[in-house]
Structure 1
Amino acid sequence: MAPIPYWRLSSFYLFYFALLGSTAPFLALYFDHLGFSSARIGELVAIPMLMRCVAPNLWGWLGDRSGQRLLIVRLGALCTLASFSLIFVAKSYAWLALVMALHAFFWHAVLPQFEVITLAHLQGQTARYSQVRLWGSIGFILTVVALGRLFEWLSLDIYPVALVAIMAGIVLASLWVPNAQPPGQHERSDGGGFLRQLASPGVAAFYVCVALMQLSHGPYYTFLTLHLERLGYARGTIGMLWALGVVAEVLMFLAMSWILARFSLRRVLLASLLLAALRWWLLGSFAEYPGVLLFAQLLHAATFGSFHAAAIAFVQRSFGARQQGQGQALYAALAGTGGALGALYSGYSWNALGATITFSIASVAALVAAVIIAFRMTEEKAP
């Protein structure tokens, strides 16, 4: 068995999710700093998520047809950096919308193809995926803490510079990663193509729940920082709270191989969704209480950590080698669809209905997904 290029894979995840750690908590704050309304902020945050509905499927199809996944990753990282750099040209709503759409088209090409490369390197050792992926969470933690402190000392005008530096790190990390392809002997023997595998029992229901889960994250990723700032929390404290959630996520990743060996994917996904419903209700109704807020952030271990690890395992189990790229891309695309709808509805409802109702809608979305998992997915342990 070939050795795993652990640190090369991990370094890419570290920089990739450092970029997410710089956008999820602070992008809306930056647009608010520029003077945009909550509706415009919701729209600008939704644009990258909408591109995630289209780009991963296109790049996933290209990756499966060409087999050049690492080339797609490297070109995607480079084009992400180049297109986002256009933000220094102007700050109008139309120009920022263009920058958000253009850089996201390339950014969302990267991760699904890299997930396939990682899983190809981990053949026979799939349980180690979480041990590689946790470095992405560490990158997220380092970024939210550092930027939270930085924005207490300096103006938010420095924010685009920080993002460009992180994007350059993604480009360099992609050049360090060796290539790998899913072995052909793992192709399904029934000869079914992607659509046939998608029609397998429980697979379509799973993807619907992915979209609903990400929709429920809309208010969290779009307005949590503004929500907590208006409740009186300092930006440095808010950065630490974001980091706390990802620390819980890291600990969950470390435990996932043990959990998936003992519980079915259905049970892990169902528990994640039920805890998500609880989390959004707590954030919308009781975030002014530090103890409740700390507990809600610890639930990030379930709402992202266990859900994502179980979802990656489900996709790998459900598709053959030649459909892995499309399976991962569809996962990213439907997550983007749900995330975009979540950002849009929260942007329009935040001022009209308030934080409590907005987060309550998110809670209901997670509950609906839990019901679908309970009734449409069969019990089957991860391989």
Structure 2
Amino acid sequence: MHALPVWRLSGYYFVYFAFLGAFSPYFGLYLQSLSLSAWEIGLLMSQMQLMRMFGPYLWGSLADRFGFRVSIIRLAALVALLGFMAFFWLDRLSGMLVAMALLAFFWSAALPLVEALTFDHLREERLRYSRIRVWGSVGFIVAVLATGALLDVVAPRGVLWVCCFMLVGILGFALSLPEAPPLASPQETQPIGRILRQPHILALMAACFAMSAAHGPFYVFFSIHLADHGYAKTGVGLLWSLGVLAEICVFMLMARLTRRFSLRQILLASFAAAVLRFVLMGWGVGSLPVVILVQLLHGLTFGAYHAAAIAAVNRWFTGKSQGRGQALYSSLSFGAGGLLGALISGRTWDHWGAGWTYTLAAGFALVGWWLLWRWFVDSPAVDRPESVKNDDPVQ
């Protein structure tokens, strides 16, 4: 019987997203402490998305061709750690761009391969994915709360030590992950170009691009937005954590939700929630109840959206195309879409202000909703998740 490495996979997700929990909310504040402009901060942070445009697909193609997934995951963890350590000595934009690009190129390589590895370990129990992936959300919350509390008593430079510690943890768990043989599939030899030409897949990829573009100003400027309106760093951490708590709740309920609703219904609800969320984020930040609602909507705009999107990608890209399918999802959405959102918000933040920057983000989400409504059609063959052997509703 196949031994499922639940805690090693869960531990990897925990430290991987703990790094993100320290990096995304607070690294921008560290850059701001170096007197960098909004454009320079946006340019630096956008390297994470830029490298995700082509890095994951390159590494995914190598993994699909040669089968060295775990080796690539370990190499990525090591080089990402070395790249990030350069920030301890850098304070000029040019050098920081090189270090950020190196970090991002290797850091972005790992997650799509770990996603594919997780599904291959799960085999017929794929709805247990949310139960494993939820530990990433837990790690994010622990890191965002602890880092926020730390930065209330130490200089912003403290975020460098926290992020470095998390990257060491990623390397440790990467060294512990076992390989799993890819599952055989009747579609194993289907060319990836033929898969991508299907209208519902094109619609999903384009919509995911739009959703990540919508989240660009959130990930780059939300902490700065809150700090500019008088929120303490501990409060910023609590608000980020609230969003991830909502995400955790959705992940825990996802197996039940996918039995009751189609992927199309879940995705349309998620995109509609994103339109509302970003409008409120831009214009309602002065009201704490509104900001709380904004963060609770993260359960839909990321939790439900990501779980439904990755389930569709895992169903459509099978066999030897699986690594590239996950990489394409990551590259087109978090990579290209996130890059566009980060760069545009870096330009509009100073000129248009936060309100109109987040309104533009809501516009991206609305475009994604329309793409799904128009072309992503319910079909039992492609739109329902796999049957489940275990009747436990929280897998």
Deviation at 1:55, TM superposition (A): 0.3
Displacement of 1:201: 3.1
Alpha-carbon shift at residue 319 of structure 1 (Å): 1.2
Superposition deviation, residue 181 in structure 1: 2.3
Paired residue type of 1:148: G
Corresponding residue for 2:390? none
Instruction: Say yes or no: does 1:21 pair with 2:21.
Output: yes
- In the other structure, the counterpart of 1:109 is 109
Quote the offset at 1:223 in angstroms: 0.6
> In the TM superposition, what is the alpha-carbon distance from 1:2 to its structure 2 partner?
2.2
Q: Equivalents in 1 of 2:305, 2:51: separation in Å? A: 22
Of residues 379, 382, 385 in structure 2, which corresponds to 1:382? 385
**1:100 is the counterpart of 2:100:** yes
Residues 343-363 of structure 1 show CA distances to partners (whole Å, capped at 9, x for unaligned) of: 111111011001110000000
Paired residues for 1:81-160 under 5 Å: 81-160=81-160
CA shift at 1:254, angstroms? 0.2
**TM superposition outliers: structure 1 runs of 4+ over 6 Å:** none
TM-score w.r.t. the length of structure 2 is: 0.95
Kept after mapping to 2: 8 A contact 1:270/1:374: yes
- Residue matched to 1:39: 39
- Does structure 1 conserve the Cα–Cα contact (< 8 Å) formed by 2:73 and 2:174? yes
Partners of 1:320 and 1:216 lie apart in 2 by 29
Describe how 1:243-282 pairs up with structure 2 within 5 A: 243-282=241-280
Task: Report the alpha carbon displacement of residue 87 of structure 1 after superposing the two structures with TM.
Answer: 1.5
* Distance in 2, Cα, partners of 1:267 & 1:55: 31
* Kept in 1: contact 2:247–2:303 (CA 8 A): yes
Specify the alignment match of 2:391 in structure 1.
none
Q: Whole-Å Cα distance in 2 between the matches of residues 259 and 245 of structure 1? A: 19
Map of 1:341 onto structure 2: 340
Deviations 1:80-131 (A, max 9, x none): 1112111223210001111110111100110011111100011110000000
Match status 1:353 vs 2:352: yes
Once residues 307 and 213 of structure 1 are traced to their aligned partners in structure 2, the CA distance between those partners, rounded to angstroms, is 9
Offset of 1:266 from its aligned partner?
1.0
Alignment of 1:12 with 2:15, yes or no, is no
1:182-240 deviation digits (Å, cap 9, x = unpaired): 212x2417x42111111123101111111100000011101111111111111100100
Give the AA of the match of 1:376: W
- Maintained 8 Å contact 2:150/2:158: no
Q: How is 1:172-211 mapped onto 2 (pairs within 5 angstroms)?
A: 172-184=172-184, 186-188=185-187, 191-211=189-209
CA-CA distance at 1:31 after TM superposition: 0.7
Alignment partners' CA distance in 2, 1:181 and 1:198: 25
Q: Could you tell me how far apart the structure 2 residues matched to 1:139 and 1:235 are?
A: 18
Q: CA deviation at 1:178?
A: 1.3
**Partner letter of residue 306 of structure 2?**
H
Q: Between Structure 1 and Structure 2, how many residues are aligned?
A: 381
What is the identity percentage for the equivalent residue pairs of Structure 1 and Structure 2? 41
CA spacing shift, 1:50–1:183, aligned 2, 3 Å: same
Specify the SS of the correspondent of 1:2: coil
Query: C-alpha displacement at 1:156, in angstroms?
Result: 0.9
Matched residues in 2 for 1:381 and 1:108: separation? 29
- 2:281 match: 283
- With structure 1 as the length reference, what TM-score do the two structures score? 0.98
Gaps of at least 5 residues in structure 2 are 387-395
What code does the residue aligned with 1:276 have? A
Q: Which runs of 5+ in 1 are unaligned?
A: none
CA RMSD of aligned residues (A): 1.0
Alignment correspondent of 1:222: 220
Structure 1 position 290, deviation (Å): 0.6
Q: Secondary structure at the match of 2:384?
A: coil
Q: Distance in 1 between matches of 2:181 and 2:299?
A: 30
Shift of 1:318: 0.8
Secondary structure of the structure 2 residue equivalent to 1:116: helix
